[in-house]
Amino acid sequence: MSVEQIVSQYRFGMIARRWGALWVDGVILWLLPAIPVFTLGEFIYQKTLWMWIALLFSYIFIMEGLLGWTIGKWLFRIRVVNAEGNAPGLLKSLIRTLLKVIEANPMMFGGGIAGIVALISKKRQRLGDMLAKTYVVKREDVPKITPPEKSVEAEPSFVEVVRSINEPELT
């Protein structure tokens, strides 16, 4: 079953899972910088603010890109995947994370607008998912995903091109 077929069956319950995961991650992202404020003091925290901002951004970007989940997504048993059912990788995760900053901030009703977009879209994607070509699926559905068939006209992957360069032609 393709990932698109799987996500098209999801209803409001999946949006609720995504919203719950967003709030758990939001609490983590709020608590994480609070620790150095209380342990190191306000002065040192302010001097290292950019480091903390990078750490917070990296939490979602790296975990989703390499693992397909954050702590919030793990608790709500959901995964971010590409069309093949794998973790999306860092580039796709970067796209998702940059758009999440806009879509899921408190000024945008805490992800409410992103949830509405995901609910009404055919593939249950928010804008960040659409641009990154990613999907959010239930953890138990990941093994059911079958990769899309490669078309004959599909461009070869980078790995295939490198392999063809190194393989001697037999004549």
Map out the domains of the chain as residue ranges.
3-166
Looking at residue 170, its amino acid is L
Give me the count of residues in the chain: 171
Q: Are 42 and 31 in contact (CB under 8 A)?
A: no
Give pLDDT tens digits along the chain (171 positions). Answer: 999 999 999 988 998 999 899 889 989 988 887 877 788 787 877 888 888 788 888 888 999 999 999 999 999 999 999 999 999 999 999 999 888 888 877 666 667 788 888 888 999 999 999 999 999 999 999 999 998 876 455 556 665 655 656 555 555
Q: Among candidates 51, 52, 81, 63, which has minimal Cα distance to 24?
A: 63
Cross-strand pairs, 80: 136
